[in-house]
Structure 1
Amino acid sequence: MTSALDAAARRRSHSRVTDDAPSHEELLPLVAAAGRVADHSSLEPWRIIELRGDARNRLGAALAKGAHARGSEAEKLAAKPLRASLLLAIVVSHHPSRKVAKWEQSAVASGVAHTLSLLLDEAGWGVFWRTGEYTRTKPVEKMHGLAKNEQLLGWLYVGGVPERDRETRVKTVDAAKFLTVLD
């Protein structure tokens, strides 16, 4: 079994994935495990929306509308959600709290997204994170059915790992460059 350290060190984005994707049933234990991130006051300020099939086309149309795009620009934006057969929209659901600020609730939702990406990678799926300037436009928010207390953080694009990516090395991080000691 792979350790958490191994999974984190091996993680990489797969900018292209195959059409294979985990089923809803295969996602459930991964989402349950990802939901175990540190969560001050156990507010669970997140949810995940599964987009497959035509939902991806509706997202593409919402992206183009949010960008006020026309012609080839609209077509290009509309095609972006088709780069994977499964998109997982990561949503922060802010709860009123005097103890837990909105930024901390957003951090919990981000932690769920990252942990889920590690779990998907460990399960053999290719994953990449997508955000962008149109993520928080009205048409995109409406398409996802977000409530007033919710914000879309982005999407995990999920699919099979292409053969060309199976042996690709992961670049290492120079930890000494980022870890400082306060005396």
Structure 2
Amino acid sequence: MSGALEAVRDRRSWSKVTDEAPTRAELLTFVSAAGRVADHSSLRPWRLIELRGDDRERLGAAIAKAEGDKKPSTKPLRAPLLIAVVASYKKSKVPRWEQEAVASGVAHVLSLLLDDAGWGVFWRTGSYTRSKAVAKAHGLGKDEELLGWLYVGGKPPRTRPSRRRAVDAKHHVSRLPRKKKP
């Protein structure tokens, strides 16, 4: 089995991670590789924002503001590194949905690379990803949208097997319908 196939089959979400995280240099290596996803017209309609330390507390305050809570959210403190995934739309013949798909592809490939390198990763989204308070905290431009965050940290010892079942591909792959005879 190829290394890529094995990495994809072994991938799982790690909702709990330890306090270790990849260095900035390691992260940049992974991002450089993840940026090779299929990208119509090579627009690179994405960017990533690295959140560590106090950045996570600032995000917690923005989430609280978005949700109308008085206390900062502790969700961003669940991992030592958060990577905000931003769709950064470009004026182009390439439709907006396709540009968002590229940004999502970068995030997914990055999560695979991090997982394969031994890091625990969880992709978190939520209604507040589209809120003004959270967008402002991330410094998003008018042609940008936050797609969520990759929460990254060390993998704790596995206490139980992965709950994710294998995909039965036969239920998801089909052929074009046959033409009906007149």
Give the structure-1-normalised TM-score. Answer: 0.92
Q: Secondary structure at the match of 1:135?
A: helix
- One-letter code of the match for 2:167? V
1:173 aligns with 167
Tell me how far apart the structure 2 counterparts of residues 85 and 168 of structure 1 sit (CA, whole Å).
Answer: 24
The Cα offsets for residues 36-76 of structure 1, whole Å up to 9 and x where unpaired, read as 00000000000000000000000000000011123xxx35x
For structure 1, list consecutive stretches of 5 or more residues without a partner in the other structure: none
**Distance apart, 1:2 and its partner CA:** 5.9
- One-letter code of the match for 2:102? V
Q: Secondary structure at the match of 1:163?
A: coil
Q: Larger Rg: 1 or 2?
A: 2
- One-letter code of the match for 1:7? A
Tell me how far apart the structure 2 counterparts of residues 164 and 42 of structure 1 sit (CA, whole Å).
Answer: 39
Deviation beyond 6 Å, 4+ runs, structure 1: none
The Cα offsets for residues 132-152 of structure 1, whole Å up to 9 and x where unpaired, read as 011111110000011111110
2:73 is equivalent to residue 94 of structure 1:
no
The Cα offsets for residues 86-107 of structure 1, whole Å up to 9 and x where unpaired, read as 000000100001x200000000
**Distance apart, 1:157 and its partner CA:** 0.1
Q: Which is worse superposed, 4-13 or 123-132?
A: 4-13
Per the alignment, do residues 2 and 79 of structure 1 end up closer, same or farther by CA in structure 2, a change over 3 Å counting? Answer: farther
- One-letter code of the match for 2:119? W
Q: Secondary structure at the match of 1:7?
A: helix
**Distance apart, 1:3 and its partner CA:** 1.5
Match of 1:158 among 147, 152, 160: 152
Tell me how far apart the structure 2 counterparts of residues 85 and 136 of structure 1 sit (CA, whole Å).
Answer: 23
Q: Secondary structure at the match of 1:91?
A: strand
- Aligned sequence identity (%): 63
Matches within 5 A, 1:18-37: 18-37=18-37
Q: Secondary structure at the match of 1:164?
A: coil
Q: Please provide the CA RMSD for this pair.
A: 1.4
Tell me how far apart the structure 1 counterparts of residues 36 and 94 of structure 2 sit (CA, whole Å).
Answer: 17
- One-letter code of the match for 2:76? P
**Distance apart, 1:158 and its partner CA:** 0.1
Give the structure-2-normalised TM-score. Answer: 0.93
